A and B are shown apart, each in its own frame.
Chain A
Amino acid sequence: GAGVSQSPRYKVAKRGQDVALRCDPISGHVSLFWYQQALGQGPEFLTYFQNEAQLDKSGLPSDRFFAERPEGSVSTLKIQRTQQEDSAVYLCASSRGSYNEQFFGPGTRLTVL
């Protein structure tokens, strides 16, 4: 596709529900990143894939957060048993590889009630 796409754009979940957020990177981009952006703050790194390999998950805030990219293209970020503090915009980015520009999707705004 022309750019990174994410779905859904908005998600409202009740506390305790599981959610799944999808990211479609730019075709051919081997690197894929997930970031979390709280209101009024810059994005914070969650996890990074190179093709299907998850090379860095140091930013995932708890074991309730899980990400996968099984075929090296589309990625899913799953949050289990959502909490109110998980409310944020979740941004996905892709790039041709290390040391290159990262291109971001529009984000998914998650609100946990």
Chain B
Amino acid sequence: SQQGEEDPQALSIQEGENATMNCSYKTSINNLQWYRQNSGRGLVHLILIRSNEREKHSGRLRVTLDTSKKSSSLLITASRAADTASYFCATDAGYGNKLVFGAGTILRVKS
């Protein structure tokens, strides 16, 4: 069974616009990670945010974490066609090792 849910399931935007994806989860966590997966390829690690952090940045990516609401968001600014992919959040569900993934958000950036 999957821990979290991403919202929306699919998102289509124009190049240059910002994209926001949300993730909700059910149990307490030590950290939450975001991954990108291009069609037919493996998962690329984007960012890890720990439970005592509220916000983290990496290039055009901004991740927030609200442990009281058990939710996280991923913001991609100034999107590019190359950002087209599926995005997954994953938590350690308190275990510290195995990850529990949501079903993902499919992002399409139109040029």
Taking Cβ atoms with an 8 Å cutoff, the residues of A that contact B are 4, 31, 33, 35, 40-45, 48, 50, 55-56, 59, 91, 93, 98-107, 109
Contact = CB atoms under 8 A, between A and B. Distances in A.
A40 to B, nearest CB: 8
B96 A42 contact: no
Contacts of B75: none
A99 B92 contact: yes
Interface in B79-104: 88, 90, 92, 96-104
Contacts of A102: 33, 45, 99
A42 B97 contact: no
B31 interface: yes
B33 to A, nearest CB: 7
B42 interface: yes
Interface string B26-54: 00001101010000111111001010000
Given A43-B43, A105-B42, A107-B42, A48 B97 contact: yes
Contact of A33 (B88, B99, B103, B104): B99
Contact of A104 (B2, B45, B104): B45
Interface of B: 2, 30-31, 33, 35, 40-45, 48, 50, 88, 90, 92, 96-104
A104 B42 contact: yes
Contacts of B33: 101-102
A31 B97 contact: yes
9 contacts: A41-B103, A42-B104, A43-B90, A45-B100, A93-B99, A98-B97, A99-B92, A99-B97, A101-B48
Contact of B99 (A40, A45, A55, A106): A45
Given A43-B88, A104-B45, 11 more contacts: A33-B97, A33-B99, A41-B2, A45-B98, A45-B100, A48-B97, A48-B98, A98-B96, A102-B99, A104-B35, A107-B42
